[in-house]
Amino acid sequence: MRFGMVWGTTLPDIDLLISIVIIAAGGNMEQALAPHRTLTHSFFTILTIAVIGLILWRTGWNPSLGGGVFGIAIGMLIHVVLDLPYEVDVSLLWPLTMARFGLFWSLPGIWAYLDQMMDFLFAAVFLYVLHMLARKYQVRERLLIPTAIASTIAFIGMVAYDLTGPPGDQWLLVYAAVGLPFLILILVLPWVNRRILYAIPN
């Protein structure tokens, strides 16, 4: 379940691949963001994954897999809750409605871009925490510190780029080009270093 929760907190943003394809094919920012935070951020998707996980887990068909799948649902729910304050909002009730729901604020202009750059900083912090846990529990780690350093450099570089006030379509392509490798790493590295998560006492 622990690994599933870690994976689930990142998995919903895999839908950005669709946005990248739309921009690369000549679409505009509005068209590119339309599918983002729909299927992979929907309450019904999360509920379906949670139910599948519970069935596998509690019936004994495959408790290990079921616990992992249920953990993914919990991680996805955490991700969606943390997305609610952002400018794009979330289609919580997709596919019943495309209406988007959000919380308290939407950041204007360049600040909306800068807000998105926090993803790189969060990635660096997360990987560093895994590194510290590996040291504490004396578990072998792979690529955590180099990737954390690279993520920090990406954060600084993207903030500097944002301050130039780039057009929205261009910004999304640059963000995707820089961010997609880190999204893949954030999904892969917890699996490669899963012994760290399993070493944490209950």
Q: Which position has the higher pLDDT, 32 or 189?
A: 189
pLDDT at 23 over 90: no
> Which of the listed residues 37, 72, 106 is the one where a domain comes to its end?
106
Q: What gap in Å lies between CA 40 and CA 174, rounded to an integer?
A: 23
pLDDT score of 175: 81
Same domain, 36 and 82: yes
> Which of the listed residues 54, 83, 106 is the one where a domain comes to its end?
106
Q: Which position has the higher pLDDT, 186 or 24?
A: 186
Same domain, 157 and 102: no
pLDDT score of 201: 85
Averaged pLDDT, 157-186: 82
User: Model-level pTM?
Assistant: 0.81
pLDDT at 14 over 80: yes
Averaged pLDDT, 61-84: 91
Q: Which domain holds residue 54?
A: 1-106
pLDDT at 106 over 70: no
Same domain, 91 and 132: no
Same domain, 91 and 115: no
Is residue 177 within 8 A of residue 154, CB to CB? The reply is no
**Token pair for 22:** 């739309």
For the ranges 68-72, 78-82, 165-169, which has the lowest average pLDDT?
165-169
> Which of the listed residues 72, 106, 140 is the one where a domain comes to its end?
106
pLDDT score of 179: 84
Same domain, 111 and 77: no
Radius of gyration of the chain (CA): 18
**pLDDT tier for residue 73 given thresholds of 50, 70 and 90:** very high
Number of domains the chain is built from: 2
pLDDT at 3 over 80: no
pLDDT score of 110: 52
